[in-house]
Structure 1
Amino acid sequence: MRAPTVEHEQERDHAPDAIVHADGDSASIALIEARERERAGAIPSPAPPSEPACGCATPETTPADALDRAAHALIAAATGGLSPASALLAWIDWAVHLAVSPGKNAALAMQAVQDGLRTWPEWTPSLGATGKPAANEPADPRFADPAWNAWPFSAYRHTFQAAQAWWQQASSGVRGVEPHHERLVQFFARQWLDALAPSNFAATNPAVLSTALRTHGANFAFGERNWLEDYGQWLSRILGTSGKTKPALKPGRDVAATPGKVVWQGPLCELIQYAPTTSKVARESVFIVPAWIMKYYILDLKPDDSLVRYLVDAGYTVFMISWRNPGSAARDLGLNDYLEQGLMAALAVARERTRGERVHAVGYCLGGTLLSIAAATLAREAKRTPETAEDPFASVSLLAAQTDFSEPGELGNFIDASELAALDALMWEQGYLDGAQMAAAFQLLNARDLIWSRMMSEYLLGRRSKPSDLMSWNDDTTRMPYRMHSEYLTRLFLRNDLAEGRYCVDGRPIALVDIEAPLFVVGTERDHVSPWRSVYKLHLFTHQALTFLLTAGGHNAGIVSEPGHPGRHYRVATRSLDAPYRSPDAFVAENAPIEGSWWPCWVKWLEERSSGTVKARALEAQWPDAPGAYVFEG
């Protein structure tokens, strides 16, 4: 798994023109062809393990399988990648068990009567209803405008919220329903309820009506223009007459602008080293592994909210992986290819550029999951052959990254055998999962804010949201190869192989318990992608010292939480070596919130695990400037 030396890579890849103008999938194709030659016997390789030992065997595709995939792909294309069978099974499971639960039905009927008696006065203001929210009524940003307290809008609001509460009660706690089916029913019920919210319709939204009166209806004209623009772009993408929408902010100019150089380019990623801003830097560099489900510059947005710039200014040599955006030719690249030809190869280059010093490794989201696999693999090898192998990590930091997928949160609504069969068929036809398809799935997780509130603002109020760096980055979508994403969903999400000791690297299973480096793990309070309680589960798989930090915000905004950002707080605690386990609830109860950004806390933690300083590491002037070539691949 050793990567080529830096000198060899300079001869092969570091010609500036070759890096700056790299395009197509030639490197990916070469990698695939090399692996096929290896499989055919041209390159010696160890015998693969048996299925019982590793669980990694891949069944051969038969003509019947190909026909089934084609049929499933047609259905998946029509449903946006969702499995109708999965949804139908969930509704049948819930409906049948509800039908034979007379006690539950009686309780629901009683709640409906009580809701009707409570909301009826709202429809007859002469009875003296105030329309003000009750003291225990949950806050809902859709109804934050004071006009929702006036009749008849208060009646709309209270009736809708009563229906929400009733459906929450109806879809939960039905005896005999599979937990996954229960979550699916709740998810789909929330989708159609959010679609029917009175805030989504001009006639029942007081903010829209008051805006129409003030602008003499101009908001509807602006909204129609916005809708026509969006519809035209959508139709062009469907018909294939236009390319991907370009982000509003350009990498290298508006975002991803921290000065640096591309010091290595491989078939799957480039490695960026950032220019120092201090005369001395920490001996250990910071090596960052972002997720390939997104462009890397989520961690290098504008200068005032760039985690990369913050680390550089704090006196660290920072390396960043910039993943390639694969096309259909890369369909056969797997998860271990990303490990070996991506992370491991880039890590070897980073260490050689710092004369073999160990690194503070940082992984974000899916990149953190890959980093945990790498850390477990390298720790295993260091223990097996201590005379020839070493653990290169001075510390490992995982930012909103899961290692146990038994409770993946709302993303788990899309993970079952039926859903994966639909996605697998869709990806098989394309060779990859498109960024727009992934974006649609993530929007469903938070449809209230990402779909309906946006539509209300842009189409009913006629406002165009001013693009921010985070919004522009979110529009800069990427693809994922068929084989890699299929392995990721099946082996990690569905089977939980990593947490259960079945995930194999080089034909042998790895275990997270082998990781000896100190750990810093960050979860975010409102994470729909990596729920913090799931992230917290790493406590169960290691005996090493582990610092866990829970910060305000969601999956992206919670990590991009620069000092000075208003409304931020965090909780933090360290479990010492071999200390007993504490539950997530105990963590919250025992650690009070600390106001401010979590970045200074983390940098202090890194400083305590660094071994002094060295002269700042210069960059070769002739090498291409960051952000490199791969970030521009659409």
Structure 2
Amino acid sequence: MPNPFAQVAAAWLAHPMELARAWHELATVAWATGMPAPVAEAAEGDDRFTDPTWRSNPFFHGLMQQYLGFTRTLERQVYDTPGVSEREARSAAFWLRHWCNAVAPSNFALTNPQVLRRAFDSGGASLRQGFEEWLRDLLAGDLRMVDPAHFELGRDLAATPGRVVMRNSLMELIQYAPVRTQVRSMPLVLVPPWINKYYILDLTERQSLVRHLVEQGFDVFIVSWKNPGATMAGVTFEDHLFDGILAAIEAARTIAGVPQVHAVGYCIGGTSLSALMAWLNQRHRSARQVPVAHWTLLATLTDFSKPGDIASFINDDTVAMLDGLMARQGFLDAQQIGWSFRMLRPNTQIWRYVVHKYLLGEPAPALAPLAWNADGTRQPRATHAFCLRELYQDNKLAQPGRLDIRGQKLDLGRIRQPLYAVGAVADHITPWRSTYRSAALVGAPVRYVLTASGHILGIINPPGGNAKQQFWSAPLISGRDAKDWLAVQTPTAGSWWQDWTQWLHARCGAMRTPAAQAHPDYPWLCDAPGNYVREH
């Protein structure tokens, strides 16, 4: 795929009259700081210019207007480029925004009033502290979003009591200890994404979805994926389905002594669970033979036609480059993956930390989600290449009969088990409208839930988190798109966790007394959080 900037430049050069008008508009905006009316104001949620000085001081106000007006005009002109496709324009605009974000006046000490004031008030101590923060990050080889010393696995994070009841070369399976005298007879099997550690679903005590489910009286199992090294370069997407998810389901239903479980998939864990559900439904004639009675998808795509900003990274050139890198390493490194995701939201994931740590001299915040985010995992070459090409580029899972898994041509429309699907309004990794389209591919009744916030905090959304909590929930409307569905919904105050647990209680069987001892086929191997989660 050609360079998007080269395509945009060539297109403008082929239209010299339009180019002249565009440059005239840019020049007008660039020198518009003296205009009496504001040229541009910061968008809602853009916290780079929240300091009052950006508006009260004529110099800084003019600087902010000049920057915002110029960069927005430049980006709009990229989208207006004559003769280029929407995809090419979107890709060029994505990389242009990175340059625009990097040169923002808020990122430099002499053009950020908050930095200047802090340095003056502290007698320069803030700049010294910022330099020390920079040195610590330099030695660590990363722009650290959190100090890892604040958190310890098994104490502050991943601390819900439980035991590892199964281990193979790909994953450990954890069963959590009950806190009630009785639990629902049908267990829940949680499948987190293998692109991060499992304990995003078991953060602090208040932020733990696992703990919430256990306290609600459910028998909860979770998959903890192994952090792969070069020796696991050949581990495939199919291996994750069968040696990972299906093995966990079989173990959970054997331990619980029931024929079926409720399965939960998050992000790429949900994508793989969807593929497995389609495979199982095509293999078994009766829905009762499928070992999953009903299931939940959290922020999950199966239709990758509009995957959000990440599409700007995924083309033939970048996929080939990554494949070459993985061929040398045997995997994609955690830091390489982490920076890719940071670049999707550079202002909040990169430049905010540059300003607050290095210019203002503030230590990194001690937030559990950031500690989890910093504890990344590697990706095996075969699996990652498959996901990029088969799912993101070719979108085969969304097309009946295109994706072959162990001799079965998958069709999501053949899935018959009821689905509870969750999307998040501000999710930039799995955009909610795409999660809605993905859920609509399933040939079973779907309850769709839209929650506030983004990919992480929309899912890790405990009751009582804040006064603005709300969600929308209703059956998915066949033949209607996401916008039409939302237009006829009324928001409910609170956390979607409460709606979900009610839905689960109605379907997960009668209450029973949990076993006091290990199952003879699945002895307790060690206490949670297990061994694999500690691998770096």
Q: TM-score range by the shorter chain?
A: over 0.9
Separation (CA, whole Å) in 2 of partners of 1:437 and 1:247: 22
Separation (CA, whole Å) in 2 of partners of 1:133 and 1:164: 10
1:339 paired with 2:241, answer: yes
Q: Which of 314, 318, 324 lines up with 1:425 in the alignment?
A: 324
Contact 2:26–2:74, Cα closer than 8 Å, also in 1: no
Contact 2:157–2:203, Cα closer than 8 Å, also in 1: yes
TM-superposed deviation, 1:588: 2.3
Structure 1: 4+ residue segments shifted above 6 A: 130-133
Contact 1:276–1:617, Cα closer than 8 Å, also in 2: no
Q: Which of 268, 283, 296 lines up with 2:185 in the alignment?
A: 283
Matching residue of 1:177: 84
TM-superposed deviation, 1:342: 1.0
Q: Which of 470, 478, 494 lines up with 1:569 in the alignment?
A: 470
Q: Which of 292, 298, 303 lines up with 1:393 in the alignment?
A: 292
Matching residue of 1:215: 122
Separation (CA, whole Å) in 2 of partners of 1:618 and 1:118: 74
Identity %: 36
Matching residue of 1:14: none
Separation (CA, whole Å) in 2 of partners of 1:340 and 1:610: 24
Contact 1:132–1:154, Cα closer than 8 Å, also in 2: no
User: What secondary structure is seen at the aligned counterpart in 1 of 2:141?
Assistant: helix
Matching residue of 2:497: 599
Matching residue of 1:147: 53
Matching residue of 2:488: 590
Q: Deviations over 1:483-525 (max 9, x none)?
A: 1111111111111111113212221211101111111111111
TM-superposed deviation, 1:116: 5.1
Q: Deviations over 1:102-144 (max 9, x none)?
A: 67546535643653574323xxxxxxx587976x965521111
Letter of the 1:147 partner, please give it.
T
Deviation larger for 536-545 or 221-230: 536-545
Contact 2:174–2:221, Cα closer than 8 Å, also in 1: yes
Q: Which of 351, 362, 373 lines up with 2:253 in the alignment?
A: 351
Q: Deviations over 1:135-183 (max 9, x none)?
A: x965521111111112211011100110121112111132331333212
1:406 paired with 2:305, answer: yes
Contact 2:187–2:219, Cα closer than 8 Å, also in 1: yes
1:307 paired with 2:215, answer: no
- Change in 2 beyond 3 A, CA 1:116/1:628: closer
Matching residue of 2:427: 527
Letter of the 1:100 partner, please give it.
A
Letter of the 2:455 partner, please give it.
H
Q: Deviations over 1:410-431 (max 9, x none)?
A: 1111111111000000000000
Separation (CA, whole Å) in 2 of partners of 1:119 and 1:426: 46
Contact 1:283–1:357, Cα closer than 8 Å, also in 2: no
Letter of the 2:77 partner, please give it.
A
Separation (CA, whole Å) in 1 of partners of 2:17 and 2:407: 54
Q: Which of 481, 494, 498 lines up with 2:393 in the alignment?
A: 494
1:372 paired with 2:274, answer: yes
Letter of the 1:446 partner, please give it.
R
1:164 paired with 2:71, answer: yes
Q: Deviations over 1:526-566 (max 9, x none)?
A: 22211111111124422321111111111111111111111
Matching residue of 2:443: 543
TM-superposed deviation, 1:248: 4.2
TM-superposed deviation, 1:340: 1.2
User: What secondary structure is seen at the aligned counterpart in 2 of 1:305?
Assistant: coil
Separation (CA, whole Å) in 2 of partners of 1:104 and 1:247: 56
Deviation larger for 322-331 or 276-285: 276-285
Higher gyration radius (CA)? 1
Letter of the 2:235 partner, please give it.
L
- Change in 2 beyond 3 A, CA 1:106/1:597: farther
- Change in 2 beyond 3 A, CA 1:202/1:619: farther
Contact 2:137–2:143, Cα closer than 8 Å, also in 1: no
Contact 1:261–1:626, Cα closer than 8 Å, also in 2: yes
Separation (CA, whole Å) in 2 of partners of 1:137 and 1:332: 46
Separation (CA, whole Å) in 2 of partners of 1:369 and 1:178: 29
Letter of the 2:212 partner, please give it.
Y
Matching residue of 1:627: 529
Structure number with greater CO (CA < 8 Å, separation at least 6) is 1
1:481 paired with 2:380, answer: yes
User: What secondary structure is seen at the aligned counterpart in 2 of 1:616?
Assistant: coil
Letter of the 1:255 partner, please give it.
L
Contact 2:261–2:294, Cα closer than 8 Å, also in 1: yes
Letter of the 1:165 partner, please give it.
R
Matching residue of 1:22: none
Matching residue of 2:5: 91
Letter of the 1:96 partner, please give it.
A
- Change in 2 beyond 3 A, CA 1:139/1:97: same
Separation (CA, whole Å) in 1 of partners of 2:149 and 2:225: 17
Structure 1 runs not aligned, ≥5 long: 1-85, 122-128, 238-244
Map 1:180-191 onto structure 2 (within 5 A): 180-191=87-98
Matching residue of 1:231: 138
Separation (CA, whole Å) in 2 of partners of 1:292 and 1:399: 14
Contact 1:247–1:475, Cα closer than 8 Å, also in 2: no
Separation (CA, whole Å) in 1 of partners of 2:278 and 2:139: 48
Separation (CA, whole Å) in 2 of partners of 1:455 and 1:118: 29
Separation (CA, whole Å) in 2 of partners of 1:314 and 1:191: 45
Q: Deviations over 1:7-30 (max 9, x none)?
A: xxxxxxxxxxxxxxxxxxxxxxxx
Coordinate RMSD, CA, aligned: 2.3
Letter of the 1:594 partner, please give it.
T
User: What secondary structure is seen at the aligned counterpart in 1 of 2:174?
Assistant: strand
Letter of the 2:410 partner, please give it.
I
Separation (CA, whole Å) in 2 of partners of 1:362 and 1:137: 36
Separation (CA, whole Å) in 2 of partners of 1:402 and 1:224: 42
Separation (CA, whole Å) in 2 of partners of 1:113 and 1:231: 39
